[in-house]
Structure 1
Amino acid sequence: MFIGSIFLNVILPILILVVLGAGLQRKFSFNLKAVSNLITYCLMPAAVFINLYETEIDVQVLLEIIGYLVAFSLVIIIVTTILSKVLKLDRGEAAIFKNSISLINSGNYGIPVSQLLFHANPLGISIQIIVMVFQNVLTYTYGLYNLISATKSGLEILKSLLKMPVIHAMLLGGLFNWLHVPIPNFIWVPISHLSDAFLAIALILLGAQLAQIELKTIVNRTIVTSSIGRLIIGPSVALLLILLFGLDGIVAQSLFIASSFPTSRNSSTLALEYDVHPDLAAQTVLFSTILSAVTVTFVVYLSGILFV
């Protein structure tokens, strides 16, 4: 598949929905918290459950994926720590900088991309779901620690994780798959409808969220460096680890693409909630998301060449 074809068939449909969401938000000023709750507690769990229920993942492959994700995160954390010292950032800026590169938008950006790319191969989507769950755990452990390590206990962080519906959906989907539990049609049909709605609503919400971010002073040293770290250094580290782990095929392709997505919206949400340079965090999300239209297209193209 050529780069132009990838952009037209994968990235452009996503951008259209994001722009649509931004336009609708400008005109109608949606209650974004309510829409976010709809996705978090209803649409995303349905999509996660269905994909894991329908996909067979070998235990060995699952362990390889988890091992890779742990190694990838550790390398990125080390790299961002070194870079933050080189840039001589203060403690708050360093926290935002580290989170902006370590935390990836694997949910309302990553899963829609994977659904479009791997619609004929559910394994690719399931791997992205595993990445998303891992990223959620990383967000509410390492990401939260960066911002409020002195004010939130480990038990409180664990409680926050256990309350996330996507964790329950993942466990149920995997368990029902393993036990071959049949699901009655009257239950399966509404879950399927909810899953189908996830892609469009998630991208519209992303656009609506980005529409609220101020454009002024969006280009500065910290934002540009963090975007380079997220969109270029991240995939480069991923490629090296994939080769080191000896991964190939759909597994390698999916993990490589998953490393290329922009900064997680959660990094901005946490920064706002705990008042740690919220403007810097939000502008980084916007800048990396805009640039990702080019970089993700290239990574998808490269993955098709390297991991057939």
Structure 2
Amino acid sequence: MDLFFIILPVLIVFLIGYIGQRIIDFDIKTISTVSLYLMSPFLAFRTFYTTALTMDYLYICLFAILLIIVLFIITWIWAHFLKAERSEVSAMMLGAVFMNSGNYGAPVVLFALGSPGFHIAVIIMVLHSLFMNSLGIFFAAIGGKGKATVKQAFKNVLHMPVLHASIIGIFLQLIHVHVPKPVMNGVDLVADASIPLVMLVLGMQLAAISKTRVKYRFVTAVSIIRIILSPLAAVAILWFMPLSDLIKSVLIIQAAMPAAANTTMLALQFDTEPDLVSFTTFVTTIISIFSIPIVMHFIGI
């Protein structure tokens, strides 16, 4: 029960966003854009500016890449056995490969492991954001009716403010530039506000999810991969990495997160089975209310 109370504050904020969307019907895309382009970059800058650069960064990046490769292979094989069409394969990839490390994972880590764990969670959030805006767009584009090229996907990554903010933060740290306290106070205000906002956005997105009929065998497959196989794969990968228990705990928790809500936007944009993607996001998010405390129990939180 204590583990459930760790994620309860996060669920309360989700619920506020859900109820608010049901009653007022906000423009979710605009609010999400504000979060992505105006607020998250400050959070990324602060994290990369204040977190000391060590070999852990390299291992975290390697972990994120290996986990995506493993999940891609598992999903592709499972989709083959389900005789999925190209659009359904892409929809499964969106749901199974990309976890909600930002507006769900980071807050859970903050409440469970405090500020030290939260800094690691933000690093993962930035990496996953880059992957989703490159590989995610690629999967959505090749399986949908929308038009996009690999070049356009990578161009989109280069235009992401969180990437620029992360690079600036690392650069200023390396050359030992001291940012004046009044400036950092302003950065802190925006950075601290970004997490509650992205949590509200997830609640709004869940409220807007379509409940039309979908093929449940695909939802079941993606749910098993995302909720069960993903954290197990993370444990297997981390077994060989010389990382601290804190970092390993953060990475496993992030790997256990439900499908990323932003994949629904990609599916809608490129018409890649949006009902399947959105319903998968909803189902895995509901399951995660019970599965995440179990994961935290097994890793000793």
User: What is the TM-score of this pair, normalised by structure 1?
Assistant: 0.91
How far apart are 1:219 and its partner, in Å?
A: 8.0
Partner of residue 194, structure 1: 190
How far apart are 1:246 and its partner, in Å?
A: 4.3
1:1-308 equivalence runs, <5 A: 4-8=1-5, 10-58=6-54, 60-121=55-116, 124-149=117-142, 151-217=147-213, 220-304=216-300
Over 3 Å counting, the alpha-carbon distance change for 1:183 and 1:291 in structure 2 is same
1:189-238 Cα offsets, whole Å, 9 max, x none, are 22111111122211111101110113354682211221111010100111
Counterpart amino acid of residue 31 in structure 1: D
Q: In 2, Cα distance between the equivalents of 1:145 and 1:43?
A: 26
How far apart are 1:65 and its partner, in Å?
A: 1.6
1:138-184 Cα offsets, whole Å, 9 max, x none, are 22332222232494333322210011111111111222222221112
Counterpart amino acid of residue 127 in structure 1: I
Which range is displaced more, 266-275 or 296-305? 296-305
1:92-145 Cα offsets, whole Å, 9 max, x none, are 111101221101111111222222233242xx2232222222222322332222
Over 3 Å counting, the alpha-carbon distance change for 1:218 and 1:117 in structure 2 is farther
Q: In 1, Cα distance between the equivalents of 2:140 and 2:16?
A: 32
Q: In 2, Cα distance between the equivalents of 1:78 and 1:246?
A: 25
Helix, strand or coil: the match of 1:245? coil
Which range is displaced more, 135-144 or 29-38? 135-144
How far apart are 1:186 and its partner, in Å?
A: 2.6
Q: In 2, Cα distance between the equivalents of 1:197 and 1:274?
A: 31
Over 3 Å counting, the alpha-carbon distance change for 1:27 and 1:11 in structure 2 is same
Counterpart amino acid of residue 271 in structure 2: D
List alignment gaps of at least 5 residues for structure 1.
none
After superposition, the CA RMSD in angstroms is 1.8
Task: Give yes or no for contact 2:17–2:201 (8 Å, CA) kept in 1.
Answer: yes
Counterpart amino acid of residue 91 in structure 1: R
Over 3 Å counting, the alpha-carbon distance change for 1:6 and 1:178 in structure 2 is farther
User: What is the TM-score of this pair, normalised by structure 2?
Assistant: 0.93
Task: Give yes or no for contact 2:44–2:165 (8 Å, CA) kept in 1.
Answer: yes
Q: In 2, Cα distance between the equivalents of 1:149 and 1:95?
A: 7
Over 3 Å counting, the alpha-carbon distance change for 1:120 and 1:70 in structure 2 is closer
Task: Give yes or no for contact 1:18–1:203 (8 Å, CA) kept in 2.
Answer: yes
Helix, strand or coil: the match of 2:299? helix
Counterpart amino acid of residue 193 in structure 2: A
Over 3 Å counting, the alpha-carbon distance change for 1:5 and 1:57 in structure 2 is farther
Counterpart amino acid of residue 222 in structure 1: F
How far apart are 1:16 and its partner, in Å?
A: 0.6
Task: Give yes or no for contact 1:51–1:125 (8 Å, CA) kept in 2.
Answer: no
Q: In 2, Cα distance between the equivalents of 1:159 and 1:193?
A: 30
Q: In 2, Cα distance between the equivalents of 1:143 and 1:33?
A: 17
Task: Give yes or no for contact 1:218–1:284 (8 Å, CA) kept in 2.
Answer: no
